[in-house]
Amino acid sequence: MNTIPHWINGSPVPGADTAPVFNPATGAEQARVALGGATDVDTAVQAASAAFETWSESSLSQRTQVMFAFRRLLLDHEEELGRIISAEHGKTIDDARGEITRGREVVEFACGLGDVLKGSFSDQVSRGVDVHDFRQPLGVVAGITPFNFPAMVPLWMHPIAIATGNTFLLKPSERDPSAANFVAGLYQKAGLPDGVFNVVHGGKDAVDAILTHPGIEAVSFVGSTPIAKYVHEQATAAGKRVQALGGAKNHAVVLPDADLEFAANHITAGAYGSAGERCMAVSVAVAVGDAADALVAVLQRKALEVEVGPGDRPTTDMGPLVTKAAQERVEKAVGTAQAQGATVVVDGRGLKVDGHEDGFFTGPSLLDHVTTAMDAYREELFGPVLAIVRVDTLDQAIDVINANPYGNGTALFTASGEAARRFQRRVKVGMIGINVPVPVPMSFYSFGGWKDSLIGDHPIHGPEGIRFYTRPKVVTTRWPQPAQHLTAGFDFPTSN
C-alpha cells in the first residue's frame, strides 16, 4: 500500500508513524500517510530557514518567473490533480477542478506582485530630507489547512507568502494529504529552490509543534472556530502573527419578489455542492413572508433531483462525506432536528449507492420550520443539510443573521435594489452576495468573515495577504553637501 511521505527540502521524507487514508466512495483504505511531530517540524523549519537566506534576497523578477511557471503547471496537470482530490475527499472531479481554478487565481495575483509591492516616496519632507517605504518578508511562515479544499485553501496562502520572499511550511489535513505533495512536485518543476516549500503531514502533534516553534514567524489557519481560537491563542502567545479563519453558518435570504426558480437553483447548489463540506456553503435559507411555501416546494423538487454517487462518475452532482464519522454525525443531526420539531421535507439518511454500499454517502436533507433555538440551526453541520427559517420581513431576516455568532458569508435573492442596499449595509457579515449564493471574493480582494468566523484581524489572500506576510520599513534620508555644516538640535525633530 502506498505511503504518503513528508516533503522537506525538495525530497520525500518517510515518517515513523502512519495513519490510514480512505476512499470515501468505497469506504476502503487506499493509502497510508506519514504522521509528523516536533522532530519533523523542526527539520522542515531548519530547511526553510536556510532557504530563506537566499530566497528572501532573490529578485522580484525571479520570484514571479517561478509563479508564472507554477501557474502553467497547475493548468497542465489540472485533470490529474482533480482526480487525486476526488479520490481522497469524495467531491466530484468537476468540483475539484473548480477549487484548483480558484486557487490558481491567487497564483495569478502573485504573478503581479511587482506592482502591488511598490512602495511610496515623498520628496523634500523637510529641507534636504526624503522619506520612502518598502515591505520585507517575515521569514519562515506556516499554513495549517482543512480537508474540504486540499488544493484551494493552501493556494490561498503559499503563493503570496513565497512570492513576497518568505519560505513556507504546509501542514495539510491528514484525511486527503496527496494534493499537498503533488503541488510540492509542481513547485520543484517550476524552479522553486529546495526548502522554500515544505510539507509535514500529521495531526495535533504537528500542529502544536508549528504553533510553538521559535523559528516560525507567522501561522495561517482555516478550520473550525474552536480550533481557530486555539491556534490564535497558542501562536500569539509564542509571539507569532496569526490569521485564523473559523466556521460559519451562512444564510441565504429570499424575498417574495425574487425569481424563486433562480434562487432555488443556486441555493440548492450552494447547500449540497461538495456535500455541504465548505465554510461558504448555504446552510440556512431564510424565507421572507409569502415566499416561504413556494420556495420550500421548489427546494424540495431540486433536492430530490440531486444525483448522489462517486466523484468520478460524470453524472454525479454530489459525492460522499469525507469519513464515516462525518456521515453518522450529519444523519444524527437530521434526526435531532426532527425530534426538536423541524419538518423533514427531504430525508437523505440511509442512502445506499449501487456498487458503493460501503461508501460514506448521505443524501440531501431539507428541513422546514427550523427555529434559531434548534441544534440544526445553531451548529455548523458541515454536511448536505439545508434548514428553512421563516420570517415576516427583511428586517427580521437581518436580525436573525446578526444574532448568529458566525459572520462568514450571506446572500440575498431579490429584484429590489433598495432591499439589496439595505441588506448589505446592515448585515454583520464579512462576505455578501446579491443574487450570488456563495460570495467567495476574487483573488485580488481578501477572504474573511466577521465575528466567530475570523479570529484575529487578518483575512486571507489579496491585499490583506500581502500585509500579513510582509512587514513595512520607513526610511528617512538626508544627503548633506560636503560643504554644509549643520547643527543638530536637541529639541524633538520637526519638518521646519
Residue 496 pLDDT? 67
Residue 3 pLDDT? 97
Of 137, 112, 117, 175, give the one whose Cα is nearest residue 48: 137
Q: Is the pLDDT of residue 254 over 90?
A: yes
Taking residues 383-389, report their average pLDDT.
98
pLDDT level of residue 493 (50, 70, 90 thresholds): confident
Rg (CA), the chain: 25
Range list of H helices, 380-494:
394-403, 417-426, 462-469
Residue 165 pLDDT? 98
The yes-or-no answer on residue 279 being catalytic is yes
Contacts 24+ apart (CB under 8 A), 211-215: 211/235, 211/238, 211/240, 212/238, 213/41, 213/42, 213/45, 213/238, 214/238, 215/42, 215/45, 215/46, 215/48, 215/49, 215/139, 215/140
- Interval 458-485: pLDDT, tens: 999 999 999 999 999 999 999 988 777 6
Extract the C-alpha cell encoding 189.
518543476
Residue 208 pLDDT? 98
pLDDT level of residue 230 (50, 70, 90 thresholds): very high
- Interval 319-335: pLDDT, tens: 999 999 999 999 999 99
Of the candidates 93, 279, 367, 401, the residue annotated as catalytic is: 279
Taking residues 284-306, report their average pLDDT.
98
Percent of the chain at pLDDT > 70 equals 99
- Check the CA dihedral 338-281-400-261 and report its sign: negative
Task: Give counts: helices (H), strands (E), the chain.
Answer: 17, 23
Taking residues 6-18, report their average pLDDT.
96
Taking residues 120-126, report their average pLDDT.
95
Taking residues 410-418, report their average pLDDT.
98
Percent of the chain at pLDDT > 90 equals 95
pLDDT level of residue 494 (50, 70, 90 thresholds): confident
